[in-house]
Structure 1
């Protein structure tokens, strides 16, 4: 287990239409987007900002991913102080390596991996000094991380062992099973549950903070996206809505009850 819990700190959309995705999410979430141009010869990459900081990026699906049939999707990056050591530890614990550690010039060292049940995420060892975490309640930032697993207990054991996450409260959702909250040190950052049968594979879902849920849900449909579930109120004084963007990537929105 790491001495200090490590969490998600960057979120990346791989899409089939970068221009359309940029227009959609800036309208729906309210991000300020800017091009990332520090790496000559690299594919186009758009940084999205929450508050005064970049919190994620948008890019076109790489050709090799398209050929493998990967759909548009959001993927989260977990911070690592040593990607190679993290990958070795993950592999020993039954995790999956989809892309071995490699360097991104001017950015850091990364790897594409999955937990033992197949939920994909990335590891990133950034260049330069660590920056303070962006507060989870910042508008536009991810305020909640949700894992749909085949066995949430084993998933929590894995993430606890690799990244120091802790078990928190849990809720009995009846036929939907247990919803287990988890933390990465101080404060809850997400929940885990066993995935519904109709969901093809385990996956992470990310909830972006917005000011008001009904207005945000309307922006989703007004700009060509779909509302898949909600809006609905959840424990903790919040509203959520689960959505799909026009290219088919799943995401969710989170707002306080007013």
Structure 2
């Protein structure tokens, strides 16, 4: 398959912050067939790169608990000027959780807060140019912001990351805007004000492609994961929501184009 077309502003990378990297590695290997390489401890803090069929798809790092953040999957958007992106985020009502920093030989990163409070990473390409496969089994397939501040968030991603957006639905029951449109869309923003539980902040959710959603659910649960939302058929494929053994939530999607 061709490499993903990662244009500026689009999701380009994901990583997992977890209290137990070894348990996470075992879980995702059994679920997605991943293999791993661990980076130099001094240069990269022991950052673990996950691969599917030899192509990088995700990262894993230790959550030492000092930040106070729970274990979580993080989505990164590609930017061409990391400092300009951070400045734009604050100018348009967001915040900076971690300012721009150099990752030796790989690129530059920052961790930002959007106008609705969701954490979103920014990545400026260097030697590392993001995931090299997408929407194939065992790789990231979709990226979705769940927010209570729908209109403000849509404007934020337009203003800060240059999104050209398309309204997929604008009914009271389902308000959804995408980056791009149709088959070319690359991410979505959902009005989640009606169903995000109290105390749960706005957040980005990662979907992973699988060959068989029901089999993936069974594997995940058997390996210590938790079923959050059972598999169900949707217009976009059969989907389920899961949590890994330390509580990081993600979704799986079995494409309607498979099988």
**TM-score category (smaller protein):** 0.7 to 0.9
Distance 2:60 2:163 in 1: 27
SS in 2 for 1:94: coil
CA contact (8 A) 2:106 2:126 kept: yes
Larger deviation, residues 18-27 vs 154-163: 154-163
Structure 1 counterpart of 2:24: 21
What is the aligned partner in structure 2 of residue 206 from structure 1?
206
Tell me what 1:250 maps to. 249
Report the counterpart of residue 106 of structure 2 in structure 1: 107
Asked if the contact 2:137/2:210 (under 8 Å) is kept, the reply is yes
Query: Residue deviations 1:198-248, cap 9 Å, x none?
Result: 151100000011111111111110100011012011113x11111111101
Q: Specify the alignment match of 1:159 in structure 2.
A: 157
The SS at the match of 2:186 is strand
Q: Which residue of 2 aligns with 1:142?
A: 140
CA distance 1:90–1:174, shift in 2 (3 Å): closer
- Alignment check: 8 A CA contact 1:51 1:138 kept: no
Q: Secondary structure at the match of 1:74?
A: strand
Change (3 A) 1:243 1:121: same
CA distance in 1, matches of 2:238, 2:182: 24
Structure 1 residue 171, shift from structure 2 partner: 3.5
Deviation at 1:119, TM superposition (A): 0.6
Q: Distance in 1 between matches of 2:251 and 2:113?
A: 21
Q: Does the aligned pair in 2 maintain the 1:28–1:220 contact within 8 Å?
A: yes
CA RMSD of aligned residues (A): 2.3
Question: How far 1:32 moved relative to its partner?
Answer: 2.2
Indicate the residue corresponding to 1:189 in structure 2: 186
**Which runs of no fewer than 5 residues in structure 2 stay unpaired?**
1-6
Tell me if the contact between 2:166 and 2:177 (Cα under 8 Å) persists in the aligned partners. yes
Q: Which residue of 2 aligns with 1:59?
A: 61
2:177 to 175, 180, 193: 180
Q: List per-residue Cα deviations over 1:17-40 (Å, max 9, x = no partner).
A: 010000001111222222223x63
- Deviation at 1:108? 1.7
Q: 1:173 deviation in Å?
A: 7.1
Task: Give the whole-Å Cα distance in 1 for the aligned partners of 2:130 and 2:205.
Answer: 23
Match of 2:215 in 1: 215
- Which TM-score applies when normalising by structure 2? 0.87
Q: Distance in 1 between matches of 2:181 and 2:95?
A: 22
Please say which of residues 114-123 and 189-198 is displaced more in the overlay: 189-198
Contact 1:32 1:49 in 2 (8 A): yes
Which deviates more, 240-249 or 227-236? 227-236
Question: Shift of residue 41 of structure 1?
Answer: 5.0
Comparing 47-56 and 139-148, the one that deviates more: 47-56
